[in-house]
Structure 1
């Protein structure tokens, strides 16, 4: 269980493999919701100045590039993204693991485009390495609901806290009346309006 609430000052965000091709493999959540949630997390990190590590897998193949919104919102993180080639567990990539360690944060907010592959293994490794982990379940998905349920259960049993995008943003915000909180609230309301209009 998480020992303390995650905050802008003690958390790093890991966004794993939100690539245009890979997103097409998800069926447990509508692609529009998955993308909107990943984008909302990126916006929250930018507003709160939370360190973000982006990674992609085999961009030159069917997986394709990271979604363009990540480059627009987080240009520096996008430029510094860790390009993995065939390494399933992002934490098993030396460059990615070093970038995570370099943040100096022990609380990791993790979202991967497929919970059953991209997310589960780095989460298990991070927990083994002593990190506190929250998995943003709806900023990822799986090819089937069964696969998604199984992977989320496995991560939870290993010690991860499973959360949702808006819950995670609210936890990081703490107070909607601050300048940052107001900006975050605007982003959350915008995302909710898009969801409700679908």
Structure 2
């Protein structure tokens, strides 16, 4: 059950921005492995799609570098908003898209953490939005650069979250059957101990249902 003043993210109270998940940026990420960033960005995008949350892709100088194909594949028909500037919030098309969603909460991930993500987060906070940064779907040029940028953003009021916390927060209750099986299958397909634990929990719930 949710309420109008719910502090948690819900499928209907936010929008998601993916900022510049492109190959050249990814090549110089050193705060995470490339596989981690792509996997968590894909997980975040697929989560948004499952829960019908509006999400936007942006790129910088796209003729020189594409959006990462695995991320674009989540919504292959979406044409990313392409810019030359470092701050996506300086682009009126991005501002218009966000305003048109009618959402006051934004979940944002991007490359690099200390540049394009940081600028967008600080600007959207200043514009009055409640902002969540997906720290493991973002990456910086070094661990220090990433951590310093996350610290700066959180000190300004942003709220850190990771990809698995995001999907869990939107699902929230296994009684939400419309999305439950999709969530379990998605997380299980991504692998890892969390996915295995979720499958085990889901099997327990199935057994409990069968004994009633």
TM-score, with normalisation over the residues of structure 2? 0.84
| Aligned residue number for residue 164 of structure 1 | 162
Residue 3 of structure 1, CA deviation: 6.7
| Aligned residue number for residue 186 of structure 1 | 185
Unaligned runs of 5+ in 1: none
Q: Matches of residues 1-198 of structure 1 in structure 2 within 5 Å?
A: 4-61=7-64, 64-76=65-77, 78-79=78-79, 81-85=80-84, 87-177=85-175, 178-193=177-192
1:165-194 deviations in whole A, cap 9, x for unaligned? 101111112124423122112211222339
Contact 1:174 1:181 in 2 (8 A): no
Unaligned runs of 5+ in 2: 196-212
**Higher relative contact order, chain-length normalized (CA < 8 Å, sep 6+):** 1
After superposition, the Cα gap between the structure-2 partners of 1:159 and 1:134, relative to the gap in structure 1 and judged at 3 Å, is: same
After superposition, the Cα gap between the structure-2 partners of 1:35 and 1:173, relative to the gap in structure 1 and judged at 3 Å, is: same
Contact 1:37 1:139 in 2 (8 A): yes
Bigger shift: residues 124-133 or 173-182: 173-182
TM-score, with normalisation over the residues of structure 1? 0.90
Residue 21 of structure 1, CA deviation: 1.6
Greater C-alpha radius of gyration: 2
CA RMSD across the alignment: 1.9
Report how many residues are paired.
Answer: 190
After superposition, the Cα gap between the structure-2 partners of 1:144 and 1:54, relative to the gap in structure 1 and judged at 3 Å, is: same
Residue 195 of structure 1, CA deviation: 9.6
